[in-house]
Structure 1
Amino acid sequence: MIQTDALAAFAVFADHLNFTRAAAALHLSQPALHVKVAKLAATVGRPLYQRSGRTLTLTPEGEAVARFARDLDARMAAFLTEVRDAEAVRPLTLAAGEGAYLYLLGEVVRTFRPLRLVNRDSARMLASVRAGRVDLGIGVLEVLPDDVTTVLLASYPQTLVLPVDHPLAGHAELTLRDLAGVSLVLPPANRPHRRTVERALRAAEVDWALAIEAEGWPLTLHFVTLGVGLSIVNGCVRPPAGFTAREITDLPRVPYYAVHLPSRADDARLAELLSAVRLAI
């Protein structure tokens, strides 16, 4: 039989993936934590983590056990709150990227309580949802995974940010061919937004130049305001003073999704948070 204290200990270990730090967080000795994890693995009948050099990673079975442990902890907390009729509840954890926090979720951050915030790009957000480390994730998804629940929140056009006195600002909307000869501020080559833009420009046979690579919308817009180049951003991104944005009609719209585990579909508090997010966006 699986002991709940072993599950709780493993959940902490899964968060740290380091026996020293996890043992300290649990106020246990490292040998004691090793024993708990080993006994849990023996009960499950599968290894729960693997070592590559000095790095520990969870096996698929370890991810499942950690997810179960966190879900059990959340259900226990909800049960105790209900039994005690207490107002204090476990904070929900929301994971989103920098752009979503800056331009979409301000009202949720200001008003929803209790709420714990973590900053994650879409790939890390999905991993955190799958592992049960966050309750709700918000991000742009190129492909919809089938192991989590996804809810479309909104989609935005891709827009060119440029000075209000730039010749292209006289157009109500733009096409990729209007960008011929333009120098662009774009993310690094491995980022999804960069891949999308480059593929589209190449397909449209548009000659363009890379002005500079920038990670994140604030730095991107900073370089645009310095005159380094123009930039293509999601339509939810607000241009700085003295600049405007024009939709590029032949670029795909950018969809933002909320993501949670299917097992949380009937969670009333999660539904409340998702409703707040939808109203904000």
Structure 2
Amino acid sequence: MDRLVADDLAAFAVFAAHRNFTHAAEELHVSQPSLHTRIRKLEQHLGRRLYTKHGRQLRLTKTGEQLAAFANDTRRRVDAFLSTLDVGPRRPLVLAAGSGAYLYLLGDAIRRYLDKGNQLRLVTADSRATVTAVRDGSADLGVTALGIPPDDLECERIAQYPQMLAVRPSHRLAGRRSVRLKDLEGEALVVPPKTRPHRRALERALLDQGVRWSVAVEAEGWDLLVQFVRLGVGPAIVNGSVRTTTAVRTVPVKDLPPVRYYLITCRDRPDDERLDMLRRMLL
């Protein structure tokens, strides 16, 4: 592959990480038309589409995902080789995780890693996007809650929390040691939007138990769910890692599975002592 195509490949890796021409062009310090031209040139070279447009969203095709993984793997191997020669500055590791993981799980490890003089680029992403970022190489590692870990990635469990019912102290279930889903019959619940994995899993579980319920309000993020509980809008099912105040009681839900957080990395990535250090801190 000649130098021109190699440069275009590196540019595509940045575009694949953002799925956004504006942000990718800013990172590359090029114009958007120039970036469009580079990616179109790659598509012509390969004879395949690399991305498709769905409304305002850009999605990689299967070929695009494979090319992004190849580009990022090549970049990592070049970085690893240059590090053995101590040539030039090393790019920071990229960690992808959800907002809940950053708030309640990763803070101490990230602070200790940065205190040692290391650089770290943080990316906020939901579970699916975190797995995709690790798989295509746009993130070096990810931390996310998974039901069934993907078998093509290295997945190490780092934490497990029960699912809890969050209620006000005056609620009829506040004094219980534990509850079951059937205890929520007739309740109006504070829940995430329909597109969120937690909402879908909760709806399936309530349906399986034949529980009739309604939506009090939809809210994005654990903190906002707990805030609505505190205001008296309704109860919510939350991750047991979530911090609450004395204005909110949490009760374990016995018939919901625990939330398991995993550290995920690529299986065949080159050795990197920085990744090993951060992994040990997280584990």
Q: TM-score, normalised by structure 1?
A: 0.84
Whether the 8 Å contact between 2:134 and 2:142 is mirrored in structure 1 is yes
Q: Deviations over 1:103-143 (max 9, x none)?
A: 11111232223211111111111222222111111112233
Q: 1:111 — aligned with what? A: 112
Aligned residues between the structures: 277
Q: Deviations over 1:214-256 (max 9, x none)?
A: 1111111111110111111111112223322110111111121
| Identity in percent | 49
Give matches, 1:119-138, under 5 Å: 119-138=124-143
RMSD (Å) for aligned C-alpha atoms: 2.9
CA distance, structure 2, for counterparts of residue 78 and residue 134 of structure 1: 15
Q: 1:98 is matched by which residue type in structure 2? A: S
CA offset at residue 55 of structure 1?
Answer: 6.6
Q: 1:66 aligned to 2:73?
A: no
CA distance, structure 2, for counterparts of residue 30 and residue 228 of structure 1: 46
What SS does the corresponding residue of 1:232 show, helix, strand or coil?
Answer: strand
What SS does the corresponding residue of 1:112 show, helix, strand or coil?
Answer: helix
Q: TM-score, normalised by structure 2?
A: 0.83
What SS does the corresponding residue of 2:102 show, helix, strand or coil?
Answer: helix
Q: Deviations over 1:1-21 (max 9, x none)?
A: 343333223323434556676
Whether the 8 Å contact between 1:93 and 1:117 is mirrored in structure 2 is yes
What SS does the corresponding residue of 1:256 show, helix, strand or coil?
Answer: strand
CA offset at residue 187 of structure 1?
Answer: 1.1
What SS does the corresponding residue of 1:169 show, helix, strand or coil?
Answer: coil
Q: Deviations over 1:1-59 (max 9, x none)?
A: 34333322332343455667655654557776566545545555644445678875433
Whether the 8 Å contact between 2:80 and 2:270 is mirrored in structure 1 is no
Question: Which moved further from structure 2: 145-154 or 247-256?
Answer: 145-154
Q: 1:205 is matched by which residue type in structure 2? A: G
CA distance, structure 2, for counterparts of residue 52 and residue 208 of structure 1: 34
Q: 1:164 aligned to 2:169?
A: yes
CA distance, structure 2, for counterparts of residue 32 and residue 202 of structure 1: 51
CA distance, structure 1, for counterparts of residue 64 and residue 189 of structure 2: 44
Q: 2:229 is matched by which residue type in structure 1? A: V
Q: 1:208 — aligned with what? A: 213
Structure 2, unaligned runs of 5 or more: none
What SS does the corresponding residue of 1:139 show, helix, strand or coil?
Answer: strand
